[in-house]
Amino acid sequence: MTQGSRYVGFPEFFLIIEFIMSNEQDYSLSLENAVTVNEVLKKVIDTACQIDLVALNAVLVAKRAGAASAGFHVVALELRSFGHKIEQEMAVLERLIHLNVQHIAALIKLKKNLRLLQSAMDINQQSSLLLQGVYSGKDRGYQNELAVSLATWNKLGAEIRHALSLCRRGAVLSNNGRIEATYGKSMLEDMQHIVSRIDEIMDEAVNGLKSLNQTLSQ
Amino acid sequence: MKKIEIIYENGPHQWAVITRDPEKPEYIIDTNEYLISSGKHALLTDPGGMEIFPAVFSSISAKYDPRNITALFASHQDPDIISSLALWLDFNPDLQCYLSWLWSSFIPHFGGNAQTFISIPDEGMDIMLDTLTLQAVPAHYLHSSGNFNLYDPKAAILFSGDIGAALLPPGEDSLMVRNFDQHIRHAEGFHRRWMGSNEAKLEWCGRVSKMKIDMMCPQHGSIYQGADVERFINWFAELPVGAGVKNSVKS
């Protein structure tokens, strides 16, 4: 994988979020779409959370390499700190995704109630008059839930942007690690392996996002 | 938020329980839904009522792709069992629902069409889930007149529906039964009142005592494991049922 291809993924991620935000009214009403976004983000979360373990390996390798890898050691410690931050960020994303799906499922339930009431009201004028109040009350509940759902959706978008800025830092760290690994002497191979693994993790995340982009474009 | 917890795992063959919703209103009984997955397919037992659909669906989505759920199993016809059916079908119109033939023309009041339902005959049947064979085990009159358990011989797990259910007070609601004698006090009233036939009860006890069961998973309350499964069967066999009303109705 080239460094260039890694960076291609991040603007795409932004485009996806922009798409979601600009179509939020329609998008928020589909449980299928919510599940699709949820599945892709779950994969991104799983993948991103592997960074912490790889960063721990980087610290251990740097320690074994001794003085020859002072620079790599600094990068490894930064990666470790980055890994913790990513994990925290992913926990926030996980909670928001869960809330998002829950709100949309609740919307679907309320919409079904409204549809049934509307069907009854359509039968004759008397039904319509009798059920109008019930319908209005239910519709207010629906609108309230919709507002909460959209707010959660917006928050999810904001948190994804935050996660992206963190990922950008990870990409820079990975690049720095690749440079410092060249001073690794006998541990060169191990260090390069670690940096490659970090690249792979980011690549996997980007591939997931590309598939989401395709789904949204259909 | 309901929790989702894996209780059995052997490669792609898994059982997960969706349970214990701290945000659930007190007036709604807590339920356990079980998601059995084999490869890319999953079956959900007693998916629950319409009101709890958002909680169940979002909890499943946290760990599994709900698009892989291809079948529902309804142990009987009660609203806490299957009144969410229409919402599940909105999400996936191709879902199939296994249930007793007795209820096959009643449950469509919750939703579905002729293609949705697979009627289980009184004697039970095998249910294929990917490469896994599950067994619908008769449990009629316990408590419904058309009632089934679902047995997974490979995992040695029996989904027992309302049999083994307990109405647990806060603080005594662990996922697994920890102390059988303490736990069963919370199951006794339920079984005395809800279970209608001593004859059916003894027939069920005889049937399941011949099965290898490592876990017995009810739709409410805690899961029985190991020796507690046999303890429950023996306790249930001795319990007079269909008489709970005597304790609650004053002359």
Asked whether B186 and B241 are in contact (CB, 8 A), the reply is no
pLDDT at res. A24: 46
pLDDT at res. A94: 86
pTM of the prediction?
0.82
Q: Are B62 and A99 inside 8 Å of each other by CB?
A: no
Predicted confidence band of residue A217 (pLDDT cuts 50, 70, 90): very low
Classify residue B27 by its DSSP letter.
T
What is the C-alpha separation between A108 and B43, in angstroms, rounded?
22
Q: Are B61 and A106 inside 8 Å of each other by CB?
A: no
Q: Are B58 and A35 inside 8 Å of each other by CB?
A: no
Per-residue buried b or exposed e for B153-187, using 16+ beta carbons within 10 Å of the residue's own CB: eebebbbbbbbbbbebeeeeeeeebeeeeebbebb
Residues of B with CB under 8 A from a CB of A: 1, 50-51, 53-55, 57-59, 61-62, 65-67, 86-87, 90-91
What is the C-alpha separation between A77 and A122, in angstroms, rounded?
67
pLDDT at res. A70: 85
Predicted ipTM > 0.85: no
A217 token code pair: 């474009």
Predicted confidence band of residue A80 (pLDDT cuts 50, 70, 90): confident
Asked whether A146 and A154 are in contact (CB, 8 A), the reply is no
Q: Are B55 and A102 inside 8 Å of each other by CB?
A: yes
List the single range of A58-67, A122-131, B48-57 with lowest mean pLDDT. A58-67
B22 token code pair: 């701290």
3-state helix, strand, coil in chain A (%, to 5): 95, 0, 5
From B140, B139, B133, select the one nearest B155 (Cα to Cα): B133
Per-residue buried b or exposed e for A107-143, using 16+ beta carbons within 10 Å of the residue's own CB: bbbbbbbeeebeeebeeeeeeeeebeeebeebeeebe
Phi/psi class of residue B137: alpha, beta or left (left: φ > 0; alpha: ψ in -120 to 50)? beta
Q: Which long-range contacts (CB under 8 A, 24 or more apart) does A152-158 make?
A: A152/A96, A152/A99, A152/A100, A152/A103, A153/A20, A153/A21, A153/A24, A153/A27, A153/A28, A153/A100, A154/A21, A154/A24, A155/A96, A156/A93, A156/A96, A156/A97, A156/A100, A157/A17, A157/A20, A157/A21
Contacts of A172 (CB under 8 A, 6+ apart): none
Give residue A84's identity as a one-letter amino acid code.
Answer: H
- Domain with residues B3-241, CATH architecture: 4-Layer Sandwich (3.60)
Beta-carbon count within 10 A of B249 CB: 7
Give residue A81's identity as a one-letter amino acid code.
Answer: S
Four-residue CA torsion sign, B203, B205, B208, B211 = negative
Strand B215-218 relative to strand B157-161, pairing:
parallel
Distance from CA of B91 to the nearest CA of A (A): 7
Give Cα B165 distance to the centre of its chain. 9
Classify residue B93 by its DSSP letter.
T
pLDDT at res. A210: 56
Asked whether B15 and B152 are in contact (CB, 8 A), the reply is yes
What is the C-alpha separation between B229 and B158, in angstroms, rounded?
10
Closest residue of chain B to A112, computed from CA coordinates:
B87
Distance from CA of B23 to the nearest CA of A (A): 12
Domain-wise residue ranges, chain B:
3-241
Tell me the backbone φ, ψ of residue B192, rounded to 5 degrees.
Answer: -60, -40
Phi/psi class of residue B221: alpha, beta or left (left: φ > 0; alpha: ψ in -120 to 50)? left
Query: Which residue range(s) make up the domain with A107?
Result: 3-217
**Cα within 13 Å of Cα(A188), Cβ side:** 5
Distance from CA of A180 to the nearest CA of B (A): 38
Interaxial angle between packed helices A125-181 and A70-123, expressed in degrees from 0 to 180 and rounded to the nearest 10: 170
pLDDT at res. A4: 35
Check residues B2 and A153 and name the one with the higher pLDDT: B2
Check residues A155 and B103 and name the one with the higher pLDDT: B103
Q: What is the mean pLDDT of chain A?
A: 78
The domain total for chain A is 1
Going residue by residue through chain B (251 aa), what tens digit of pLDDT does each one get? Answer: 788 999 999 999 999 999 988 777 777 778 999 999 999 999 999 999 998 999 999 999 989 999 999 999 999 999 999 999 999 998 999 999 999 999 999 999 999 999 999 999 999 999 999 999 999 999 999 999 999 999 999 999 999 999 999 999 888 889 999 999 999 999 999 999 999 899 999 999 999 999 999 999 999 999 999 999 999 999 999 999 987 665 555 54
Closest residue of chain A to B50, computed from CA coordinates:
A109
Q: What is the pLDDT of residues A4-51, one digit of tens each?
A: 333 333 344 445 445 554 554 454 457 887 888 888 888 878 887 888
Alpha helices in chain B (DSSP H): 53-63, 79-82, 85-91, 180-194, 198-208, 227-238, 245-248
Contacts of A76 (CB under 8 A, 6+ apart): A55, A58, A59, A61, A62, A177
Partners of B71 in the beta sheet? B43, B96
Does position A68 have pLDDT exceeding 80, yes or no?
Answer: no
Asked whether B220 and B32 are in contact (CB, 8 A), the reply is yes
Tell me how far CA of residue B182 lies from CA of B64, B164, B176, in angstroms: 34, 14, 13
List of chain B residues whose C-beta atoms are within 8 Å of the C-beta of residue A112: 86-87, 90
pLDDT at res. B251: 45
From B50, B77, B93, select the one nearest B143 (Cα to Cα): B77
What is the C-alpha separation between B220 and B169, in angstroms, rounded?
12
Q: Could you say which of B54, B59, B61 has the minimum Cβ distance to residue A35? A: B61
Could you identify the residue written with the tokens 């008397």? A126
Q: How many residues are listed for chain A in this entry?
A: 218
Q: What is the pLDDT of residues A157-201, one digit of tens each?
A: 778 777 777 777 777 888 888 888 888 777 888 888 888 888 788
